[in-house]
Structure 1
Amino acid sequence: MNLVYKNEKPLVLITAVVAAIVWLALFLGTFGILLVYLLLGYVFFLFAHSAFISHLKGSGVRISKEQYPDLHDSLVRCCQKVGLREVPEAYLLRTDFFNALATKFLGRHFVVLFTDVVDALEDQPGAIDFYIGHELGHIHRKHLSWDPFLMTGGWLPVIGPALRRAEEYTCDRYGVACCQSPDDIKAALAAIAAGDTRWKTMNIDAYIQQVSVTNGFWMSFNELTGDYPWLTKRMATAVALSEGREVSHPRRSLLAWFLALFIPRLGVGGGGVASLVVVVAVVGILAAVAIPQYQEYVERVRYQTAYSSALEVRDAIDGYVADNQMWPVAMQDLGYPEATLDDPANSFSIDVYDDGIIGIEMGTDELGEPEYIVLEPTVSDSGLTWMCYGQNVSVELLPAACR
């Protein structure tokens, strides 16, 4: 498995060339005085960062053979899998953050696991390997070492954020390489998405299908100008990699690509007042041209939410038919307290009709006709097979499984 995401190396090269030019121009333009400021900046950073490292060593729990040997074994095993010869110091730290991190101080690398993550995955400890592998990726690829040099090129619109996203995809590949099974990968990312308890009941397939709504203008624009890929894409990419198949994400909005060219990177190491002025100007343009795109996005999310709710009803019908050899005639037959399953917040209603057909009423069209998402079962030798389609509904609004 190639652990480096396909776009990382060319993006590093472009950013490094720009950074070298900027650094050279700054050095020549200040007659070398820049070195003095860099030294002062490094001293300031050293003292600031030392506060976190001191807190880590003074309050965190260092992971070792004697202290949490299971986590230590995972750390050592992951280092061996990704080819990292020196095992970094690792700590367990209580915070309000649900993730993990890697950092560097005076040439030494540290991996920090947050207790909420470890506690949440207590029943599936193999998933923690994904977090460890991800952070080891930052260390093995020397992201922490190159960041100070690349920061002068990291402000580039589109390129700067794309490099950060590529680094995240690369580190996810390291996480995949460290995991024993696809279920561990799914659990690790599901815990970030749904929280420390809800991840256990999360429908992974339905979550991955949310990738289909990331091609709208707003989703595209905010990803192109952001440092992190959408978590749905990370999930889909990591699962596909673990299963040895390629994944293809929806194309981003062309208008979003165009406008992103005018937005310098606003993440760490970029941005500033000038960037905010540009953002304010672009927001004015967006307000004039993007409202229809936004409204369509909201509708697509509403339809996806309704479809996800209907999948639970579908599963209930599968069980009812298997047990009773007949179709349910009402929602109460499936254990629901009311005649319909209503979601006032998203304005849809689910009911069951003749022959097990599920109808999701989404509203009315311009002619006053009701709009439905329909799930229709067919009896086969292996059980029920389901077909999803729309009635009086624009195809663009339907979930991918219903088109």
Structure 2
Amino acid sequence: MNNQLVYPREPLLSASTLILGLLVWLILIIGTFGGALIIILLGFLSYLFTQSALIARIKGNGVELSAAQFPDLYAQFVACCQRLNIKNPPHAYLLSGNGVFNAFATRFLGRNYVVLLSDIVDAMNNHPDGVRFYIGHELGHIRMGHLTGHLLRWPVLWLPLLGAAYARACENTCDRHGLACSDSPTNAAQAIACLAAGGQRWQQLNLTAYYQQAQISSGFWSSFHELIAGYPWITKRIAHVMDREAKLLPRHKLAYLLAAFVPYTGRLGAGFGVLILIYIVGILAAIAIPAYQDYQTRIKIATAYQETTEIRTTIAQHYLSYHQIPDSLDSLGIKIHLTNGAQLLLDANTMMLTLRLEHGELYLIPEETADGQINWRCSGSADLKPAVLPPPCRSQH
């Protein structure tokens, strides 16, 4: 594959998202005992219905390009396929843009489609190279396999920084494909300019000044919003098309720190990404806060239980020496309050030691063994979760 047509960062990002996505799917499938396969099936069914609706709209409302239908556009399409060495050209359609200046590529059940929106074609009426740029850009998605593998990558495409970086790299690669279909970098840049200046004003756009404008998009907020978006700023796209080796100012470093917390949501936008972040934080808080509280409770109970070790030994030795239960803890010189505030209660009839804690009670029940020793059985009150009990108490709870 011609390396000039591929944005340098795309191969690494493509491999990373694919490998990580496969690993996550493998973990999900194993961890859910195959339950994740149901998610894949539901995802495919959702894709089947939504994508079939799009293809039906394209075929029902669009105009398929051919030697008999808009032969000028069809000739440009065929020429671009030849330049990119695409031996099996996809189906090409012209569809009303309703004010949208763009084109798109899509795929359904093994067939590829390129759709040109009428507004961009009309805007490029006197600029055939512009049409070829858009055709080449969309053919780039097909040639590079961007339309396949989404399901495999899906578990990691939402990850902050990574998903957006992969999407931007794909767009930069496709701009290079569009450039390959154009006769000059300036013509390709003028085609992109339509996205910024509109269907008429793009013809008066000063490309040099706009190229220089890319240098002011390195501020914090500009950097942040580009890092969480799937498209590079148009100023940068034009700069890279006009000069593939263009040296632009690096993004603001602090923007990476903030963007690392915002999930990538594709075309849904940054605001939706923040909502997803809040949702994730809420779920994690709902899980983490109770877990942390249980951890703290478990530490307090374990510390108090450990502190009763010598106390239980003293009580047992008194019983074995005098063959009677102590009247009270005071009679043994034992304080009824431990260092952490827990209270000890001794039953003078059964010698059961109760450890009264903030969250519940532990019952330490003595049992005399056949060899005349005292073992202590432990259990917790009903208001104590088994997970917060010390291991000796947990097994008997």
- The TM-score range, normalised by the shorter chain, is 0.5 to 0.7
Structure 1 residue 56 corresponds to structure 2 residue 58: yes
Could you give the per-residue CA deviations for residues 255-282 of structure 1, whole angstroms, max 9, x where no partner exists? 1011112222122699998852636999
Map of 1:4-403 to 2, 5 A cutoff?
4-96=6-98, 97-241=100-244, 246-267=245-266, 276=275, 278=277
Query: Which stretch shows the higher mean deviation, 216-225 or 27-36?
Result: 27-36
Whether the aligned pair in 2 keeps the contact of 1:151 and 1:270 (CA below 8 Å) is no
Per the alignment, in what secondary structure is the counterpart of residue 55 of structure 2?
helix
Paired position in structure 2 for 1:301: none
TM-score with structure 1 setting the length: 0.66
Paired position in structure 2 for 1:384: none
Q: 1:62 to 1:77 in 2, by over 3 A?
A: same
Paired-residue identity, % = 45
Per the alignment, in what secondary structure is the counterpart of residue 90 of structure 1?
strand
Per the alignment, in what secondary structure is the counterpart of residue 157 of structure 1?
coil
* Partners of 1:210 and 1:61 in 2: CA distance: 38
Deviation at 1:3, TM superposition (A): 0.7
Whether the aligned pair in 1 keeps the contact of 2:214 and 2:248 (CA below 8 Å) is yes
Per the alignment, in what secondary structure is the counterpart of residue 218 of structure 2?
coil
Structure 2 letter corresponding to 1:70: D
Per the alignment, in what secondary structure is the counterpart of residue 173 of structure 1?
helix
Deviation at 1:127, TM superposition (A): 1.2
Whether the aligned pair in 2 keeps the contact of 1:27 and 1:35 (CA below 8 Å) is yes
Could you give the per-residue CA deviations for residues 91-149 of structure 1, whole angstroms, max 9, x where no partner exists? 00002221000000110000000000111111111211000000000000000112221
Whether the aligned pair in 2 keeps the contact of 1:155 and 1:270 (CA below 8 Å) is no
* Partners of 1:25 and 1:218 in 2: CA distance: 36
Q: 1:268 to 1:21 in 2, by over 3 A?
A: farther
Structure 2 letter corresponding to 1:240: D
Structure 2 letter corresponding to 1:165: R
* Partners of 2:253 and 2:46 in 1: CA distance: 42
Query: Which stretch shows the higher mean deviation, 12-21 or 92-101?
Result: 12-21
Per the alignment, in what secondary structure is the counterpart of residue 31 of structure 1?
coil
Q: 1:274 to 1:257 in 2, by over 3 A?
A: closer
Q: 1:270 to 1:144 in 2, by over 3 A?
A: farther
Paired position in structure 1 for 2:5: 3
Point out where structure 2 has 5 or more consecutive residues left out of the alignment: 282-397
Please say which structure displays the higher CA radius of gyration: 2
Q: 1:268 to 1:197 in 2, by over 3 A?
A: closer
* Partners of 1:269 and 1:247 in 2: CA distance: 30
Structure 2 letter corresponding to 1:217: F
* Partners of 2:271 and 2:30 in 1: CA distance: 24
Q: 1:279 to 1:81 in 2, by over 3 A?
A: farther
* Partners of 2:280 and 2:95 in 1: CA distance: 42
Structure 2 letter corresponding to 1:8: E
Per the alignment, in what secondary structure is the counterpart of residue 69 of structure 2?
coil
Point out where structure 1 has 5 or more consecutive residues left out of the alignment: 283-403
Deviation at 1:40, TM superposition (A): 2.7
Structure 2 letter corresponding to 1:91: Y
Deviation at 1:254, TM superposition (A): 1.1
Per the alignment, in what secondary structure is the counterpart of residue 142 of structure 1?
coil
Deviation at 1:18, TM superposition (A): 1.5
RMSD over aligned Cα atoms:
2.2
* Partners of 2:133 and 2:33 in 1: CA distance: 47
Whether the aligned pair in 2 keeps the contact of 1:263 and 1:279 (CA below 8 Å) is no
Whether the aligned pair in 1 keeps the contact of 2:137 and 2:177 (CA below 8 Å) is yes
* Partners of 1:171 and 1:82 in 2: CA distance: 11
